[in-house]
């Protein structure tokens, strides 16, 4: 009896309670939540493997000493950089590669992309594969190839001697300028194919009707290239310039394997010098970290300038 009275009382009281129903979650909000569920693990991994080491490197660059005997030094490492002859030589060489090699490589990649994009070209798939092939070749193999080409008893010297062009062999790697030229040649040979693929992708996204309309209006091939192809390839050109710039700022393998930074630091880069400081003897982690941050700042500044100049929209 008491139980039935209690349930009856509850039924009478419930309608008097103002219970607000839950608002249904919109589809957009559900999609956002699911999206964040996918993004957060990747974001955490990026923070753990990229941003945290960058922060630790920054703290390390403000310390000086050898091996693990480090002490707080403030900006002393950064001041030391501009009094270090080896660092200044490495900076000069890196900027030289940047200014000379990137325009040559991107111009060649663009020309090759235009040529192999021609539908009238027979066997263009084979040409594309051959041009791209060096990009998948290991850096060790590239180094061996070019060392054999330009060694004192290598193929280039042998050819020049046999044809009577020279009377004695040329030590290409003993001269700063010829050694630099070899490094630029290796980089161009290896990375032109990659940039050609980028340009080829951009060219294939341009509507053929634009070229047909230009031809009807009497435009020449050069006019069509400068007024249609180049403006529409602007995003691709910007991408290749930025990636090539950051890659050149981190240039290491080609120099390390072919010249070792010589002769007399004539080809050494910032990454080579950083490696020497860390693994070439008693490690100087603080000073090497300062060089790493200089590389990062220069690459970021150049990318920012390129974005501002190349993409005003």
Alpha carbons within 13 angstroms on the beta-carbon side of residue 83 total 6
Q: In the prediction, which pLDDT does 303 show?
A: 85
pTM recorded for the entire structure: 0.82
What mean pLDDT, rounded, does the chain reach? 85
- How is the chain split into domains, by residue range? 95-310
Q: In the prediction, which pLDDT does 7 show?
A: 47
Tokens of 208: 């053929």
> How many helices, marked H, and strands, marked E, lie in the chain?
16, 2
Q: In the prediction, which pLDDT does 181 show?
A: 93
3-class SS at 65?
strand
Q: In the prediction, which pLDDT does 16 show?
A: 52
Phi-psi region of 264 (alpha: psi -120 to 50; beta: other; left: phi over 0): left
Kindly give the interhelix angle for 85-116 and 234-249, rounded to the nearest 10 degrees: 150
Q: In the prediction, which pLDDT does 106 show?
A: 93
Q: In the prediction, which pLDDT does 14 show?
A: 47
Tokens of 283: 């490690």
Q: In the prediction, which pLDDT does 143 show?
A: 85
| Residues of the chain falling short of pLDDT 70 | 1-25, 310-313
The residue with tokens 């008491």 is 2
Burial (CB count within 10 angstroms: exposed 0-12, middle 13-18, buried 19+), residue 145:
middle
Domain 95-310 homologous superfamily, CATH: MetI-like (1.10.3720.10)
Q: In the prediction, which pLDDT does 189 show?
A: 93
Give the span between the Cα atoms of 94 and 105, in whole angstroms: 16
Q: In the prediction, which pLDDT does 306 show?
A: 81
């Amino acid at each position: 009896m008491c139980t039935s009275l209690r349930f009856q009382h509850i039924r009478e009281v419930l309608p008097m309670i103002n219970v607000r129903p839950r608002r249904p979650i919109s589809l957009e909000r559900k999609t956002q939540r699911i999206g964040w569920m996918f993004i957060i693990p990747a974001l955490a991994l990026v923070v753990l493997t990229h941003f945290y080491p960058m922060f630790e490197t920054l703290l390390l660059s403000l310390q000086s000493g050898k091996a693990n005997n480090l002490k707080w030094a403030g900006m002393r490492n950064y001041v030391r950089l501009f009094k270090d002859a080896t660092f200044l030589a490495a900076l000069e060489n890196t900027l030289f590669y940047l200014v000379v090699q990137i325009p040559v490589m991107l111009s060649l990649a663009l020309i090759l992309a235009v040529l192999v994009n021609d539908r009238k070209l027979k066997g263009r798939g084979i040409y594309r594969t051959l041009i791209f092939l060096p990009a998948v070749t290991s850096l060790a193999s590239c180094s061996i190839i070019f060392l054999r080409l330009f060694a004192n008893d290598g193929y280039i010297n042998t050819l020049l001697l046999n044809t009577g062009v020279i009377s004695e062999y040329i030590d290409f790697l003993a001269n700063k300028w010829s050694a630099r030229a070899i490094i630029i040649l290796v980089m161009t040979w290896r990375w032109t194919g990659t940039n050609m693929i980028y340009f080829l992708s951009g060219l294939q996204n341009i509507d053929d009707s634009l070229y047909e309309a230009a031809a009807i209006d009497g435009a020449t091939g050069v006019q069509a290239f400068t007024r249609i192809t180049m403006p529409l390839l602007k995003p691709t050109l910007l991408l290749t310039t930025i990636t090539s710039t950051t890659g050149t700022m981190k240039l290491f393998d080609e120099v390390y394997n072919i010249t070792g930074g010589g002769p007399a630091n004539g080809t050494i880069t910032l990454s080579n010098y950083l490696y020497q400081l860390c693994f070439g003897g008693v490690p100087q982690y603080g000073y090497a970290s300062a060089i790493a941050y200089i590389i990062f700042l220069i690459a970021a500044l150049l990318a920012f300038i390129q974005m501002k100049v190349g993409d005003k929209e």
